[in-house]
Amino acid sequence: MDISLTGKNALICGSSDGIGLAAAQVLAQLGANCILFARNEVKLKTALAGLQTTAGQQHRYMVADFNKLEEVEIAIDRLTEELDIQILINNSGGPSPGPLLKASSMNFRDAFNRHLLCSQLLAQAVIPGMKRALYGRIINIISTSVKTPLANLGVSNTIRAAVAAWAKSLSNELDAVNITVNNVLPGATKTNRLSGLIKDNAEAQQKTVSQVEDDMLQHIPMKRFGAAKEVAHAIAFLASPAASYITGINLPVDGGRTPSL
């Protein structure tokens, strides 16, 4: 099975920590040249230093705040003037938790810009290079909420579903040019995002963190939280030549938690 990414250029968003960083580490292990993309330059430098280079990979990073579309546009335009990107990993921190009735229009607008409009902007910038290379992989890190909405994540549920619909539509437009578009749906994964959600839920429910964690684990058939590397392995497979006939899918990586098919 061909999973080598040697010679491929991969742009990984939100790659200073968490699932994004784990994805970059695995893609680098498979031979990709990784471009890390996030807003915290200090973290990016640390992350870059830890990437494997034994196959002669040339890694780099870009800095932009995904809450500012103009910064993202400037950064990606500069990058695509220099090189073609074959793999795009769209990934950004999720919207703040809370019920829909307490969400403001700005909450929705900010999340829409960060998750959907940034993904659209980046895809438009890199697809011409993918067409030239006759190879392209666009992978969106979303959430299992696109299959079953999650409690107390009203804005996130709404925007994630919009990104999933965008990705499916895009996949239908690109099927004939060897560019695939897929979504990876992480479940409860051990990241700073999960720790923050657990803490918020503990305060709201007047429970301890351990109690909230135990409650969550009862809904996961595997009875444990996922590791970022486990999600990264799914991302890497979809980015590889081995996944050439897979497009337009939502792939849960959630220990079986999602109750729907």
Give the pLDDT of residue 255: 97
Give the pLDDT of residue 193: 86
**136 three-class SS:** strand
Give the pLDDT of residue 93: 87
Domain residue ranges of the chain, discontinuous segments joined by + = 9-188+227-253
Q: In what order do the strands lie in the sheet with 179-186?
A: 60-63, 33-38, 9-13, 87-90, 136-141, 179-186, 250-253
Residue 117: count of CB within 10 angstroms of its CB = 15
pLDDT for 175-210, tens place per residue? 788 999 999 999 999 998 889 889 888 888 899 999
Give the pLDDT of residue 94: 87
Share of the chain above pLDDT 90, in %: 90
Tell me which residue of 14, 30, 247 sits closest to 137, measured CA to CA.
Answer: 247
**Could you say which of 3.65.10.10, 3.30.70.20, 3.40.50.720, 3.40.50.300 is the CATH number of the domain covering 9-188+227-253?**
3.40.50.720
What is the CA 120 to chain-centroid distance, rounded? 14
pLDDT for 31-49, tens place per residue? 999 999 999 999 999 999 9
Give the pLDDT of residue 112: 97
Cβ 44 vs Cβ 36: under 8 Å: yes
Indicate if the pLDDT at residue 114 is higher than 90: yes
Indicate if the pLDDT at residue 100 is higher than 90: yes
More confident residue, 97 or 229: 229
Give the pLDDT of residue 76: 98
Q: Cβ-count burial of 63 within 10 angstroms (0-12 exposed, 13-18 middle, 19+ buried)?
A: middle
pLDDT for 145-173, tens place per residue? 999 999 889 999 999 999 999 999 999 99
Dist CA 247 CA 212 (whole Å): 36
Helices (H), the chain: 18-29, 41-49, 69-82, 105-111, 118-133, 154-174, 192-205, 209-217, 228-239
Among 66-70, 103-107, 108-112, 201-205, the minimum mean pLDDT is found in: 201-205
Give the pLDDT of residue 175: 75
Matching residue, tokens 């809370």: 98
Dist CA 221 CA 223 (whole Å): 5
Give the pLDDT of residue 204: 82
Between CA 125 and CA 243, with CA 134 as vertex, the angle to 5 degrees is 100
- DSSP classification of residue 178: T
Which pair of structure tokens corresponds to residue 196? 């923050």
Dist CA 261 CA 241 (whole Å): 26
Give the pLDDT of residue 261: 87
